[in-house]
Amino acid sequence: MALLEISAINVDYDRVRAVSGLSFEVDEGEIVALIGGNGAGKSTTLNAISGLVRVQAGCIRFLGADISTTEPHRIVETGLLQVPEGRRVFAALTVEENLDMGAFARTDRVAIAQDKRQIFDLFPILSERRRQFAGTCSGGEQQMLAIGRALMARPKLLMLDEPSLGLAPMIVRNIFHTIRALNRDRGVSILLVEQNARMALKLASRAIVLEHGKRVLSGPSNVLMQDPTVQQAFLGRSSLAA
């Protein structure tokens, strides 16, 4: 059984179909990437999985259960967490308070404190900034905080929407190393949305290419990296520079 199973979903905004007949799976322990240009439907797909937008057709299963009509907070409780595009930390709360917010559905205080220590080990800069308002942190620190906050909910599947967006190349490398470590060392499965296709294909074992809300290509990352269409559309100069 796949951890996450997307079957023929459609998502519409008024009369515009943003995602059309999309199917794919994420297995336990995998990193899967969704790649595609602006407006391809990547964020909409993640938002549909999180329950933030509703599917008009098709089915989303997580751990075997149909979550297509489940409330977003209940979906979080099942271990499916999204780190939204643009980081969206609580700017007026401290770094530590942001992490505490990530554990809102938990009552196991000892384990919560332990998890927080682990996140500070993973991102030492967050420990240094723990009493600082999140809004005053750099973009890279806010991205680490957004990931850390999601980790406080002990995700089985972490969905990351454009984690590299707007960050300096060195910070991007750091974030990507952390994502790999989370997957390898802690067994967190990951669904990654990225415009930085080169990075995404290096990190993921498999990828799905979206165009106008439809799956146009999919397969093992090393195969897609050699695909002329992918090379031309996503691995050109601009991606090299990123």
Binding segment for ligand ATP among 31-39, 62-70, 137-145, 177-185 (CB under 6 A)?
A: 31-39
Choose which of 31, 40, 55, 167 interacts with ligand ATP (CB under 6 A).
40
Rule CB under 6 A: is residue 13 a binding residue for ligand ATP? yes
The tokens for 25 are 């799976």
- Within the chain, where are the H helices? 42-50, 72-77, 95-102, 109-122, 124-128, 139-151, 169-186, 197-203, 221-226, 228-234, 237-241
Binding segment for ligand ATP among 35-43, 54-62, 70-78, 176-184 (CB under 6 A)?
A: 35-43
Rule CB under 6 A: is residue 191 a binding residue for ligand ATP? no
Q: Which 3 state secondary structure label does DSSP give 45?
A: helix
Choose which of 6, 41, 191, 234 interacts with ligand ATP (CB under 6 A).
41
User: Order of strands across the sheet with 65-66?
Assistant: 16-26, 4-13, 57-62, 65-66
Q: Which is nearer to ligand ATP, 126 or 159 (CB)?
A: 159
Binding segment for ligand ATP among 41-49, 60-68, 87-95, 175-183 (CB under 6 A)?
A: 41-49
Rule CB under 6 A: is residue 33 a binding residue for ligand ATP? no
Rule CB under 6 A: is residue 200 a binding residue for ligand ATP? no
Residues 6+ apart with CB under 8 A from 112: 100, 103, 106, 152
Structural contact between residues 98 and 153, judged by C-beta atoms closer than 8 angstroms:
no
Per-residue CA distances from 129 to 28, 50, 96, 174, 203 (Å): 33, 29, 8, 18, 28
Q: Which is nearer to ligand ATP, 2 or 165 (CB)?
A: 165
In the stretch 71-110, what mask flags binding to ligand ATP with x, by CB under 6 A?
----------------------------------------
DSSP class of 123 = -
The tokens for 222 are 């090393």
Q: Which residues bind ligand ATP (CB under 6 A)?
A: 13, 16, 18, 36, 38-44, 195
